[in-house]
Amino acid sequence: MVEWLAGNRIRGTSTERTTTTGFNPVSAVAGGWVELGRTTLGSAGDLVSVASLSDKRYYMVLCDNRTTGAVRMNMRFNSDSGSNYSERWSAKGVTPDSTQVSQNKMQYGQSNVNEQGFSVHNIANLTNKEKLMIANVVSDDASTGAGTSPYRNEYVSKWVPSTASDVINEISMYNTSAGSWNIGAECVVLGWDPTDTHTTNFWEELASVTTTGALATVDSGVFTSKKYLWCQIMTVGRSGVATNSRLRVGNTTIDVNDNYSSRRSADGGTETPVIDVSYAADIATNTGNQFTNLFIINNSANEKLIIGHTIDQNTAGAGTAPRRTEFVGKHVTTGSQLDIIGMYSGGSDTFDAGAVIKVWGSN
């Protein structure tokens, strides 16, 4: 069964798919990101721990960092409280980076009072190797509404286990400040290994669209709402035409009102906060192809928080370096979940045919 949408777009249900399609499709029996465990707090506390993890080569950790009071967000592996961690980070794009060595934990953020936050952690868990982690963090900076831009942190960390053969079997987020993780704070641990053959993939494909003509807006169409969303967007630039790429989201329809704020850094430059605007991120002005990877926490009761990274081809050919953009955004409407995501040109220009938008999600 195939459902044809406006613009000759196709969307099928999860039961109709036999592959975990992405930009490089693979058979569903080849395995994918599987949920290894999660812990959700039923009452406020200082520790959210997921234990008894299966040994996987890579982990992806999704953290719903809601707080009561001020919290210092930290992470440990295997409950190791020895001085076996080091890290490097930047908050709001401040340079140079800050570093800490020989620590008893990996810090990945510090909240103000009563804050909503979201972080995505990618971890390499190779046996007989130091364990390496990349973390990207967004929060509402303890202020609701589009008049305040979100807060952005990026961290790289490593854990040096006391025994070289140790692998990660427990991941904990814990607080060392006066406040607490609030009710509903959550840690979800996903695993991936090349030998996996399961079909219980955490990420379900919700939308897949490829455009056939030049359009000012590329969108996913309406998909089934999920708490965690992962979206990838490839836009095709028109030769000789500079097109502004701007991200928008919505419920049932794309929200074009001033319900967004964001913060971004282009090519490692000074971070720019933007408030009270009609888009979740003003990503880049491009004349070539552009690829964006983003994650969203999509709680109905809360503002929607977004973490994104973009590479812009820039001028074609190896003689010109590509451009990069790192951004966080928030959509301030509450009481519903996002079920449509799109990129628009920000002006009278259009993206060329062949743009692709794919959305995966899970609760």
> Per residue, what are the HEC states of the chain?
CCEEECCCEEECCHHHCCECCCCCCCEHHHCCCEEEEEEECCCCECEEEECCCCCCCEEEEEEECCEECCCEEEEEECCCCCCCEEEEEEECCCCCCEEEEEECCEEEEECCCCCCEEEEEEEECCCCCCEEEEEEEEECCCCCCCCCCCEEEEEEEEECCCCCCCCCCCEEEEECCCCEECCCCEEEEEEECCCCCCCCCCCEEEEEEECCCCECEEECCCCCCCCEEEEEEEECCCCCCCEEEEEEEEECEECCCCCEEEEEEECCCCCEEEEEECCCEEEEEECCCEEEEEEEECCCCCCEEEEEEEEECCCCCCCCCCEEEEEEEEECCCCCCCCEEEEECCCCCCECCCCEEEEEEEC
Q: Please indicate, yes or no, if residue 22 is contained in any of the structural domains.
A: no
Is the model more confident about 271 or about 203? 203
Shared-domain flag, residues 260 and 356: yes
The CA distance from 72 to 16, in Å, is: 44
Q: Please indicate, yes or no, if residue 322 is contained in any of the structural domains.
A: yes
Q: How confident is the model at residue 347 (pLDDT cuts 50, 70, 90)?
A: low
Q: Please indicate, yes or no, if residue 250 is contained in any of the structural domains.
A: yes
Q: Which of 139, 165, 192 is the last residue of a domain?
A: 192
Q: Which of 192, 216, 237 is the last residue of a domain?
A: 192
Q: Which of 131, 159, 192 is the last residue of a domain?
A: 192
Strands 151-159 and 67-68: unpaired
Shared-domain flag, residues 210 and 182: no
Residue 30: pLDDT above 70?
no
Shared-domain flag, residues 266 and 136: no
Q: Please tell me the predicted confidence (pLDDT) of residue 330.
A: 95
Q: Please tell me the predicted confidence (pLDDT) of residue 284.
A: 67
Count of other CB atoms within 10 angstroms of residue 309: 16
Which domain range does residue 226 map to? 203-362
Shared-domain flag, residues 76 and 169: yes
Q: Please indicate, yes or no, if residue 21 is contained in any of the structural domains.
A: no
Q: Please indicate, yes or no, if residue 178 is contained in any of the structural domains.
A: yes
Shared-domain flag, residues 247 and 175: no
Residues 262/320, Cβ–Cβ less than 8 Å: no
Shared-domain flag, residues 224 and 172: no
Q: Please indicate, yes or no, if residue 19 is contained in any of the structural domains.
A: no
Q: Which of 107-111, 206-210, 299-303 has the lowest mean pLDDT?
A: 107-111
Shared-domain flag, residues 36 and 185: yes
Residue 14: pLDDT above 70?
no
Strands 356-362 and 106-110: unpaired
Sign of CA dihedral 8, 11, 16, 21: positive
Nearest to residue 207, comparing CAs of 6, 7, 10? 10
Predicted TM-score of the model (pTM): 0.89
Residues 135/88, Cβ–Cβ less than 8 Å: no
Shared-domain flag, residues 183 and 212: no
Average pLDDT of span 62-83 = 93
Shared-domain flag, residues 129 and 45: yes
The total number of structural domains that make up the chain: 2
Nearest to residue 215, comparing CAs of 240, 243, 239? 243
Q: How confident is the model at residue 6 (pLDDT cuts 50, 70, 90)?
A: very low
Structure tokens at 227: 């708490």
Q: Please indicate, yes or no, if residue 120 is contained in any of the structural domains.
A: yes
Most confident of 139-153, 229-243, 278-292: 139-153
